[in-house]
Structures are given as structure tokens and as C-alpha cells.
A = this chain, B = another copy of it.
């Protein structure tokens, strides 16, 4: 295998060109919470390799684009969404993770409230919102299965199962010392909705008074003074995330 490049009139090959280069992609673990379940956006592969299996949306990193920018672009192009909470997860680079060529992928996770998924899901038939089956299993959880609408496990392409597991693990780890959980909720939400999100991610029930105490003492929330409507019982107070300091 040989590589030849036109580099701008350099007299000799620099060290950068001595070895063949891997391709670099970004893959997106685009998660949400619906009906107390953690979900992830998957795309059905039409072509080999792994035709028919389900993959995370991804794309190549362009030469003039940062990794974060590539992730944002993939979010916009493949999932037709923007403005998600987006964060680098980990880089996967086993030599034959893509059987065709050497491809290193930088995985990102992206979080959006469920309502923001609607548009993307209706107009592209190869996308699905899979439910993630996660058990508690001592703090960071075990393996993760992605279930289709019929409840059957979806076969995943490449090493995307590993990426998914790590995304859930990372999400769990950051949940209660960062503001990450709020990215899965609309602007105004009740404390119960917030607790539901946390329980869905952790895969276990939480103590209500303790949860409310902790969240309110963090100082991240402010009351809107408004309440839910149409509940049929006592409506809960609506909170919002305080604008970021600084």
C-alpha cells in the first residue's frame, strides 16, 4: 500500500507522510428519555459491511473542521437536529473495527429532549429510536441492549455496541454532579420529571425527598412560579435551569 500526496511544494516528504493514514470519523450516540426509558437514535445500514444492521449516525471528519464541529455537522445532516448537549465520549481505533479500511472513530454523545426528535423521525424511514435496556448492576451497569419498537434486540454494526455501553456508563457517571440531566428535559419541567429522567438513566428508583433536597440545594434550579395544567390532581410546580453563571 502506497500513499502519494501533493503537499504544497515541500521539497521532501515530512514525517507526516511516511505512514499511511487512518480515516477519522465521528459517531454520535444521540440519546433521549421517553416514558421513563432511555432511548438512542439508530440508523439502519443499507450497504455492506453490516448491511441491515443498526449503526450510530456518523461521518468523516473534514480537514478544516474540528472534532466538535464534525459532531455538530453530523447531528445536523444525519439526524436533522441541532442545539443538542454534545460531548466527546471516547475514541475507538481497533485496527479492523471497520473491515474495509482503517477507520478511527471519535464517539460523541448528544442529548436532546424527546420532543426535539419528532421531526427527524417522521421524514427519514431508516432511523429508529431504540429503547436501551439497562440494568442497575452496581453503579455503572453491565452490557446494554438496544431494543426496537417490537421489543426485540437490534443487531448493531461495527463496535457500536461497545460505544453504546460506554455512553450509558459515562452518562450515569456524570448525571449527578453535572447539569447533564437537564439536557433531556424541556425548558420548564417539574421535579418529578427530573427524577424520572434520573431514574431512567440509572435504571433504579430514587428516594423522593432526598432527590428533591439535593436538586434544590445544588442551586441550579429556579422556580418559574407556574404550575402544570391538565393533571386531574394537584399540579406540580414548574422549574427551569438557571442561566449559566458568568
Contact = CB atoms under 8 A, between A and B. Distances in A.
Interface residues of A, number: 39
B66 A14 contact: no
Contact of A65 (B62, B63, B95): B95
Contacts of A60: 15-16, 18-19
Contact of A63 (B22, B61, B66, B94): B22
Interface in A65-93: 65-67, 88, 90-93
A95 B19 contact: no
B22 A61 contact: yes
A61 B104 contact: yes
Contacts of A65: 95
B23 A16 contact: yes
Contact of A93 (B15, B103, B106): B106
